[in-house]
Amino acid sequence: MNILYVKNKEIDKKKWDNCLLLAENGLIYGCSWYLDIVCDTWDALIADDYKFVLPLPVKKKYFFKAVHKPVYVQKFNVFGNNLLPNIVEKFIEKIPSIFINFSVSLGCNYSEFVSNFDVTENKSQILFLNNSYEELFNNFDKAHKKNTRKAIKNGVVVNETQNINNVVLMKREVHKNKNILLQDIDYQKLLDLVTFNVLEKGGEIFDAFYENNLIATAFFAKFKNTYTLFSGNSILARKLGASYIIINEFIRKHQNSNVAIDFAGSNIKSIADWNLGFGAHNIFYYSFSKKHSAVYNFFSGLLR
C-alpha cells in the first residue's frame, strides 16, 4: 500500500468525495466541502489513488503545526472499504513529523495496533427510522413520551423551514446561556455549513414556535441516509418541551425509511440519556492524541 501525504491544493476533490460516498464508514465530517468550511486548512493522507483517505485538519500556532479536531467535527475515519487494523496503523505511522501535536477522533478502536498515542473511548448515539411512527414512538422512554405530549398540549408548533439564520441565532442563545465562548468566525462557519447542506445536499431545518415566537430549532445535516443533528433552544423551549416535539416530527416524517439520526454525542450522561430516550443506541468512537513535545510547551508558555 502506497500512502502519500498530499497538500490541500493537490487533492482531487472529486475523487475524494467519491471515496467518501462509496465508503462503508463515510461521514459528513469527511466531505471536502465540509472540511473546506470548518478547517483553516486541511491536508490528507491518501492511499492507492483514493482507495483510503484520512483528512488532516491543520492548525498553526506560532511557528508550529498541529493536526486537530475543528469546531463542528465529532470524528473522522480512515475512510474506505474493508478497513483492517493494519491499514489504520500504517496511516497513523505516516502522519508527518512536522506536526508537533496530533489529536483526532476515529470511528474505530485500533489502540492495540497504534502505539505512542493516548486513546480515549467516547460514546455517541444513533437512531434508525426503519419502523412505523407508532413503533418508533413506542420505543421512547416514559419521560420522552410525556414531554412530547406536554409540548403539544402547551401549544408548541413545529414547522419545517429553510430559515438558515434561525440555526445560528438559536446556537448563539444556547452558548450565551451556557457561557460558551465562540468567535464570530465560528458562527459564520455554521452558517456556511447550514446554507450549503440545505441548499445543495438536502439538509433539513425544523423550527419550534410558541405564540408565534421562535423558541427552538434543529438542523439535520444530510450525508447519504444519515442526518446529523445540530440543535439550539431557548430556556423557554426547555420548559415547554420543544426539542422533544422537533425530534418527534422529524421521526414522523422519515418513518419506515433507511434514514438514521446521528445525535452526535455524548459522553455526558444527561445528554446521552436524552438521546437514548428516543430509542437510540450507543455507538463508540475513539480519540487518539499525542502529547505536545517539551519544546512546544516551552514556547507556548512564553508566548501566551
pLDDT (tens digit per residue) in 190-204: 999 999 999 999 999
Closest residue by Cα to residue 23 from 76, 92, 67, 68: 76
pLDDT of residue 213: 95
Strands of the sheet containing 99-106, edge to edge, are 3-6, 41-47, 52-61, 64-67, 99-106, 281-290, 118-128, 260-262, 226-233, 213-223, 204-210, 157-161
pLDDT (0 to 100) of residue 101:
61
Which residues form the domain of 135?
Answer: 130-258
Number of domains in the chain: 2
Binned at pLDDT 50, 70 and 90, residue 164 comes out as very high
Q: Do 228 and 142 belong together in one domain?
A: yes
Whether residue 2 has pLDDT greater than 70: yes
Q: What is the pLDDT of residues 89-103, one digit of tens each?
A: 888 888 887 665 666
Instruction: Give whichever of 63-67, 79-83, 208-212 has the largest mean pLDDT.
Output: 208-212
Q: Do residues 242 and 137 both lie within one domain?
A: yes
Joined together, the cell numbers standing for residue 132 give: 412505523
Same domain, 107 and 17: yes
If DSSP codes are grouped into helix, strand and coil, which group holds residue 9?
helix
Domain membership flag for residue 267: no
Going through 129-242 in order, the beta strands assigned E by DSSP cover 157-161, 204-210, 213-223, 226-233
Residues 6+ apart with CB under 8 A from 32: 11, 13, 16, 17, 20
Assess if residue 268 is contained within a domain: no
Report the range of poorest mean pLDDT among 216-225, 227-236, 252-261, 288-297.
Answer: 288-297
User: Which residues, listed in sequence order, are joined to residue 44 by a DSSP beta bridge?
Assistant: 6, 55
- Grid cell 503545526 is found at 65
Q: Which of 5-19, 55-69, 105-119 has the lowest mean pLDDT?
A: 105-119
Instruction: Looking at the structure, tell me whether residues 105 and 144 fall in a common domain.
Output: no
Question: Are 19 and 117 contained in the same domain?
Answer: yes
pLDDT of residue 294 exceeding 70, the answer is no
> Can you tell me the distance from the alpha carbon of 45 to that of 114, in angstroms, rounded to the nearest whole number?
16
- Residue 101, domain member (yes or no): yes
Same domain, 233 and 160: yes
Q: How many Å separate Cα 104 from the centre of its chain?
A: 13
Residue 271 lies in a domain: no
Give the pLDDT confidence score for residue 81 in this predicted structure: 94
Say yes or no: 158 and 241 in one domain.
yes
Whole-angstrom Cα distance, residue 119 to residue 98? 21
3-state secondary structure of 103: strand
Give the rounded percent of residues in the chain with a pLDDT score beyond 90: 67
When pLDDT is averaged across residues 52-80 and rounded to a whole number, the result is 86
Average pLDDT, the chain: 89
Do 52 and 162 reside in the same domain of the chain? no
Are residues 195 and 295 both part of a single domain? Answer: no
Q: Label residue 80 left, alpha or beta by phi (over 0 means left) and psi (-120 to 50 means alpha).
A: left
Q: How confident is the model at residue 304 (pLDDT cuts 50, 70, 90)?
A: very low
Using the predicted structure, report yes or no on whether residue 299 has a pLDDT greater than 90. no
The more confidently predicted of residues 132 and 286 is 132
pLDDT of 115 strictly over 50: yes
Say how far apart CA 202 and CA 208 lie, in whole Å.
20
Given a cut of 90, whether residue 136 has pLDDT beyond it is: yes
The domain that contains 220 carries what CATH number?
A: 3.40.630.30
CATH number of the domain residue 8 falls in:
3.40.630
Asked if 69 and 103 touch (Cβ cutoff 8 Å), the reply is yes
Asked whether residue 9 falls in the same domain as residue 109, the answer is yes
Look at residue 273 and tell me if it is in a domain. Answer: no
Question: Does a structural domain hold residue 291?
Answer: yes
Domain identity same for 56 and 143: no
Question: Which pLDDT does position 303 carry in this prediction?
Answer: 37
Strand segments (E) across 108-241: 118-128, 157-161, 204-210, 213-223, 226-233
Predicted local confidence at residue 110, as pLDDT:
57
Most confident of 55-59, 177-181, 222-226: 222-226
